[in-house]
């Protein structure tokens, strides 16, 4: 049975957020900056301050801050090309980071730990919409297998550490995330982030804006601030080894996303062409978030609004390579 307890029963006041400079961490930082969690102290260390690939460094940082809870957003992730070119490094670094934060939390007796998995870990042939129980039912997409298996390993990590050490560890599964601090580097960006950069850098003139495939694949895309709010809700209200799908159920086609990006940049949509000689990709990868929504009654930012806010952030900060991770 899923265990849920009301926020009034437990309050985690000192919260350490790993990966705070990436898109999910930035989403939580934005929510915190609006004063939605008064009386709490959040810390968002940069990777140079908290080196999760080195256990001694991770242990020392956690011991020094003594958090009541850790939200572990940090990951080595990006586009398909990154995992194709560096499958061993991606797998190794993610597994090391996950074990180091687990061990640091265990040794320092951190009361709560939230781990993040990935929608890309689910089997290619899973029934749509994908439920959490399907996690180990088949092979993930070949192009992403190393990252997928590193993320799948989080599930038995949670169960094992809860059973042997009695730790309160939970796992959440977001889908694609957009928002400020998205990664817009072509070698590491997701489809929508890549389109935003490509369209903006080629907005002048009348040359074609090429989108791979026929534009029909559907994708779930969640706004980064929603993921930040979800993480806090789960820290306060959820305690169970069962992982939770927490991304939106709303879907948008690649074609509609491309048209929305063009609209927000005042680009003529007629310039967009679809290259049918290129791979279309998996048509749907929709996850079922009904378990989480039934518990939380959470409502999500509409996809088009999430894309609009991401486009506005990109335009405002271009060409700042640090803020846009170009």
pLDDT digits (tens, 9 = 90+) for 74-119: 998 866 777 888 899 999 999 999 999 999 999 999 999 999 999 9
* Cα–Cα nearest to 2, from 238, 170, 287, 294: 238
Tens digit of pLDDT for each residue in 20-39?
Answer: 988 999 999 999 999 999 99
Evaluate whether 285 touches 238 at the Cβ level (below 8 Å).
no
* Cα–Cα nearest to 61, from 130, 1, 108: 108
pLDDT at 7: 44
111 domain-assigned:
yes
39 domain-assigned:
yes
Confidence grade of residue 140 (pLDDT, cut at 50, 70, 90): very high
- Which of 61, 145, 147, 264 is catalytic? The answer is 147
Percent above pLDDT 90 for the chain: 80
Q: Which residues contact 311 (CB under 8 A, 6 or more apart)?
A: 196, 200, 261, 264, 265
2 domain-assigned:
no
The answer to whether 37 is a known catalytic residue is no
Rounded to 5 degrees, what are φ and ψ at 9?
-75, -35
For residue 32, the domain's CATH number is 3.40.50.720
Q: Residue 131 to residues 29, 117, 142, 178: CA-CA distances in angstroms?
A: 29, 14, 21, 22
pLDDT at 9: 57
Q: Which residues contact 257 (CB under 8 A, 6 or more apart)?
A: 191, 192, 195, 219, 221, 303, 307
Q: With 50 as the cut, is the pLDDT of residue 126 above it?
A: yes
What integer is the mean pLDDT of 124-148? 94
pLDDT at 185: 84
pLDDT, mean over the chain: 92
Q: With 70 as the cut, is the pLDDT of residue 303 above it?
A: yes
Rounded to 5 degrees, what are φ and ψ at 281?
90, 175
What end-to-end distance do the CA atoms of the chain give, in Å? 45
291 domain-assigned:
yes
Q: With 80 as the cut, is the pLDDT of residue 4 above it?
A: no
> What's the rounded Cα separation, in Å, for the pair 70 and 256?
37
Helix pair angle (23-33, 224-237), 10° resolution: 80
> What's the rounded Cα separation, in Å, for the pair 105 and 83?
28
19 domain-assigned:
yes
321 domain-assigned:
no
**Which residues partner with 250 through β-bridges?**
none
Percentages (nearest 5) of helix, strand, coil residues in the chain? 45, 15, 40
pLDDT at 320: 80
pLDDT at 143: 81
112 domain-assigned:
yes
Instruction: For residue 56, give both structure tokens.
Output: 């001694």
264 domain-assigned:
no
pLDDT at 16: 98
Instruction: For residue 159, give both structure tokens.
Output: 């169960």
> What's the rounded Cα separation, in Å, for the pair 151 and 242?
15
Sign of the C-alpha dihedral computed for residues 217, 260, 204 and 320 taken in this order: negative
Confidence grade of residue 230 (pLDDT, cut at 50, 70, 90): very high
Tens digit of pLDDT for each residue in 48-72?
Answer: 899 999 999 999 999 999 999 999 9
Instruction: For residue 127, give both structure tokens.
Output: 């029934």
**What domain count does the chain have?**
1
pLDDT at 42: 97
Domain that holds residue 52: 14-181+222-250+285-303
Q: With 50 as the cut, is the pLDDT of residue 3 above it?
A: no
Tens digit of pLDDT for each residue in 194-224?
Answer: 899 999 999 999 999 999 899 999 999 999 9
């Amino acid at each position: 049975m899923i265990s849920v307890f009301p926020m009034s029963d437990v309050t985690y006041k000192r919260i350490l957020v790993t990966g705070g400079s990436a898109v999910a961490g930035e989403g939580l930082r934005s929510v915190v900056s609006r004063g939605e969690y008064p009386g709490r102290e959040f810390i968002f260390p940069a990777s140079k301050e908290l080196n999760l690939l080195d256990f001694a460094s991770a242990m020392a940082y956690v011991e020094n801050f003594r958090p009541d809870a850790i939200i572990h957003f940090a990951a080595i992730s990006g586009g398909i090309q990154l995992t194709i070119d560096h499958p061993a490094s991606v797998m190794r670094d993610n597994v090391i980071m996950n074990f180091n934060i687990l061990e640091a939390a265990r040794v320092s007796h951190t009361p709560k730990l939230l781990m993040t998995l990935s929608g890309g870990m689910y089997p290619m042939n899973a029934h749509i919409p994908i439920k959490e129980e399907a996690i180990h039912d088949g092979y993930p997409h070949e192009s992403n297998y190393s990252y997928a298996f590193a993320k799948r390993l989080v599930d038995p990590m949670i169960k094992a550490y809860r059973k042997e050490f009695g730790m309160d560890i939970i796992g959440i599964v977001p889908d694609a995330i957009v928002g400020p601090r998205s990664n817009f580097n072509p070698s590491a960006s997701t489809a929508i982030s890549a389109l935003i950069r490509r369209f903006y850098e080629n907005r002048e003139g009348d040359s074609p804006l090429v989108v791979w495939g026929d534009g029909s694949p559907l994708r779930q895309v969640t706004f980064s601030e929603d993921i930040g709010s979800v993480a806090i809700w789960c820290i306060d209200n959820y305690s169970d080894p069962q992982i939770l799908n927490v991304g939106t159920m709303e879907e948008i086609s690649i074609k509609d996303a491309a048209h929305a990006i063009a609209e927000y940049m005042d680009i003529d949509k007629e310039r967009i062409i679809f290259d049918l000689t290129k791979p279309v990709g998996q048509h749907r990868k929709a996850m079922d978030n009904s378990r989480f929504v039934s518990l939380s009654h959470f409502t999500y930012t509409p996809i088009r609004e999430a894309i609009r806010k991401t486009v506005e952030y990109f335009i405002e900060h271009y060409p700042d390579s640090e803020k846009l991770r170009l």
